[in-house]
Amino acid sequence: MNSLLRVLSYLKPYQGKVALTLFLAISTTLLDLVPPWLTKVIVDNLVENTDMTPVYWAIAGIALVYLTRNFTNHKRIVINNKVEQNVVFDLRSEVYRSLQKLSLKYFENRSTGELMSRANDDVNYVERIFIDGVEQVVTATLTLIGISVILFYMHWKLALVALLPIPFLIYGAWIYTEKAHNQYHVVRKRAASMNSKLQDSISGIRETLSFNRQLHEVEQFEKRSRDYCEGTLKVMRMWAIYSPTMMFLGSLGTVLILLFGAGLVQANEITVGSLVAFVGYLALFYTPINQLHSVNHMLQHALASGDRLFEIIDTVPDVRESPNAILPLTNVRGVIHFDRVNFSYIEGKPAIRGIEFTLSAGEKIALVGHTGSGKSTLVKLLMRFYDVDSGEISLDGYPIKDLKLSYLREQIGLVSQDPFLFNGTVAENIMYGNIEASREEIIKAAIASHADPFIKNLPDGYDTQVGERGVKLSGGEKHRIAIARTFLKDPPIIILDEATSTVDTKTEYHIKEALNKLMAGRTTLSIAHRLSTLEGADRILVMRDGELVESGTHDALISIDSEYANLFRYQVHL
């Protein structure tokens, strides 16, 4: 119920249009109540064989009512659709905005396919509440109330007979709701699992082809698809029992009316026209009841989806901005200080232990160590993708926890081992460093990163589509576009996270030229496995098992029996 109320709260900004929609729905409902009464007038006049004038007027009245009802219904549908699309837009936007505020840990613990399923499929299921749900509940309720009043006005005893199936209908709806709601949660989870597998297999299609695992992937996908289908079929089997049973119980009302009504006609307690009107109203009476059953079925699906959406919206980021966060007026100089920093991804298993060092403004520091030694974790902590467990990281004397997150990350340019390019043009990907940059500034950044020559040779130059994750470009080309993006951002601090470890020697030479330009005059923290890429570093920090074990220049460290010397000699022998 809480999820339903939260979903309905999205109607508040559009309450004027909602009120108009409900008014038109009420008008349509009231007009639906008129034809059976006019039918009674027609039948009674025909039976009594009196003046035909009232009959013709009644027929004309029915035609006018149908025309007016259809017009109001048209207006209601148009306005309701506009409201519904606005609300769905607001809900999907809030989900997306919430995703953008969440910490990196949230995404690392969930598959992309699952999150896509929530942002797309679950929003679409919730949408059904606004398309059909609210409106049908209101109109059905009003119809039931209106018809009940008329039935009791016409003959209260016959009205009570007509309502005998109602307790059974209510009990059936309650049982179905209890069972269907839980099952729909299962269905939505299985749908997310299936979408996750689909997204994963498409992203890894090159590995699938190279290992010749197409049949394996088909089997894995079909298994999840079958689980989803079986979960859906279970709900459908429940609906297949529930819906016909409810319709049968509703039809018993008509049977009872005819059974007892025939006797009342014979006893002259009611007219034939009244019995016909009773049957007509009763048909109208059980139609909204059946609509409510359908809404209940749809509602259980929507509520399960709503729960999954609000789980995203209600999630509190692990990394939160301080209420009184500082926003300095100028860029930092680039002094970075780690003060006895400790951090664990998993409690009890420290990834970083007692790290303490300082980078002066403009200094170039190289971080080296075996895989898993904690180098990339330091980068994540500096950019506040994660918060430290203890200790402190400061930037120009400001604890980074006290700075506005947007300011902190604007001060840092990250060039990673596998740069991510968005599915757009070359220019759009470079412009990601500064979305207000002009075309001239984009080209200038590309020239600085040695990307301009190969970009000009692309089919559409800077307007060439790079494909998903930059699939149409080579690894070196993607790196140079990422460097151009960082040039355009123009931050005082540069982080190179193994930026040349996946390219060949010739490409590495061009990238190093671009990086040397990028690093000039900026504080630089460089991570690399290949020690040959650490030329020009003012100082080298050596990490092992999350600890800083050595610090010094290349010449000083290589001349002693050090961890760095062992790493260097090992790579030279290779």
Region 447-454: mean pLDDT is: 87
Q: 60-74, 311-325, 509-523: which range is least confident on average? A: 509-523
Q: What angle do CA 105, 110, 112 make, to 5 degrees?
A: 115
Instruction: Please give the residue that has the higher pLDDT: either 573 or 259.
Output: 259
Say how far apart CA 333 and CA 155 lie, in whole Å: 88
Q: Chain-centre distance of CA 348, in angstroms?
A: 33
Q: Give the model's pLDDT for residue 93.
A: 86
- Give the DSSP letter of residue 12: G
In a domain, 30, yes or no: yes
514: in domain: no
Confidence of residue 356 (pLDDT cuts 50, 70, 90): very high
Q: Are residues 405 and 419 in the same domain?
A: no
For residue 371, give the amino acid letter. T
Could you tell me which residue, 55 or 209, shows the higher pLDDT? 55
Measured CA to CA in angstroms, residue 183 lies from 117, 121, 254, 394, 429 at distances of: 18, 17, 34, 50, 43
Q: How many CB atoms lie within 10 A of CB 97?
A: 10
Structure confidence by residue, pLDDT tens digits, 289-308? 777 766 776 777 777 778 88
Q: Percent of the chain, pLDDT > 90?
A: 11
Q: How many CB atoms lie within 10 A of CB 291?
A: 17
Identify residue 545 by its one-letter amino acid code: D
Q: Residue 306: how many CA atoms within 13 Å on its side-chain side? A: 23
What amino acid is encoded at 102 in this protein?
Answer: L
- 548 and 573 together in one domain: yes
Amino acid (1-letter code) at residue 531 = L
Cβ neighbour number for residue 385 with a 10 Å cutoff: 16
Per the CB < 8 A criterion, the answer to whether 454 and 446 are in contact is no
Rg (C-alpha) for the chain, rounded Å, is 35
Range 154-181 average pLDDT: 80
- The whole-number average pLDDT for the span 92-97 is 85
- Asked if 288 and 347 sit in the same domain, the reply is no
Q: What DSSP element (H or E) covers 21?
A: helix 15-32
Give the domain CATH number at 369.
Answer: 3.40.50.300
Q: Indicate whether 421 and 400 sit together in one domain.
A: no
How does residue 394 score in pLDDT terms, banded at 50, 70 and 90?
very high
Do 90 and 155 lie in one domain? The reply is yes
Last residue in a domain, options 314, 343, 360? 314
Residues 395 and 418 grouped into a single domain:
no
The length of the chain, given as a count of residues: 574
User: What's residue 388's pLDDT?
Assistant: 93
Task: With a cut of 60, say whether residue 573 has pLDDT above it.
Answer: no
What does pLDDT average to over the chain? Answer: 82
The span from the CA of 564 to the CA of 544, in Å, is 10
Cβ neighbours of residue 352 under 8 Å, at least 6 residues apart?
A: 341, 342, 343, 344, 374, 377, 378, 381, 388, 546
Model confidence at 233: pLDDT above 80 = yes
Instruction: Tell me which DSSP letter residue 204 carries.
Output: T
Same domain flag for 132 and 236: yes
Q: How many helices (H) and strands (E) does the chain have?
A: 22, 10
Strand order in the sheet with 547-552: 412-415, 493-497, 523-527, 364-368, 539-544, 547-552
Residues ≥6 apart with Cβ < 8 Å to 160: none
380 and 252 together in one domain: no
In a domain, 327, yes or no: no
One-letter identity of residue 15: Q
Question: From edge to edge, which strands make up the β-sheet containing 349-359?
Answer: 349-359, 336-346, 390-395, 398-399
CA distance 297 to 248: 17
CA gap 364, 539 in Å, rounded: 7
**Letter for the amino acid at 454?**
F
324 found inside a domain? no
Helix or strand or coil: residue 415? strand
Q: What is the mean pLDDT of residues 28-39?
A: 82
Packing angle, helices 439-448 and 475-489, rounded to 10: 120
pLDDT at residue 574, as a whole number: 43
Of 314, 345, 370, the domain-final residue: 314
- Same domain as 307, residue 433: no
Residue 522 lies in a domain: no
375 and 422 belong to one structural domain:
no
Q: Is the pLDDT of residue 533 over 80?
A: no
Does the pLDDT at position 406 exceed 80?
yes
Residue of 250 and 550 predicted with greater confidence: 550
Q: How confident is the model at residue 1 (pLDDT cuts 50, 70, 90)?
A: low
- Of 463, 490, 517, the residue that ends a domain is 490
Q: Check which CATH number belongs to the domain holding 55 and give it.
A: 1.20.1560.10
Greater pLDDT, 175 or 324: 324
Whether residue 438 sits in one domain with residue 394: no
More confident call, 353 vs 47: 353
Q: Per-residue pLDDT tens for 452-490?
A: 888 999 899 999 998 888 888 888 888 888 888 888 888
In a domain, 28, yes or no: yes
208 domain residue, yes or no: yes
Backbone φ and ψ for 69, nearest 5 degrees, come out as -60, -45
Q: What is the pLDDT of residue 401?
A: 93
Residue 524 lies in a domain: no
Is the predicted pLDDT of residue 509 greater than 60, yes or no?
yes
d(CA 59, CA 37): 11
Three-state SS sequence of 485-504: HHHHHCCCEEEEECCCCCCC
Confidence at residue 499, expressed as pLDDT on a 0 to 100 scale:
59
Tokens standing for residue 262: 């025939």
Query: Which residue segment(s) compose the domain that 420 sits in?
Result: 414-490
Under a CB-based contact definition with an 8 Å cutoff, are residues 46 and 91 in contact? no
Q: What single DSSP character describes residue 102?
A: S
Residues 407 and 418 in one domain: no
For residue 137, the tally of other CB atoms under 10 A from its CB is 17
Instruction: Report the domain count for the chain.
Output: 3
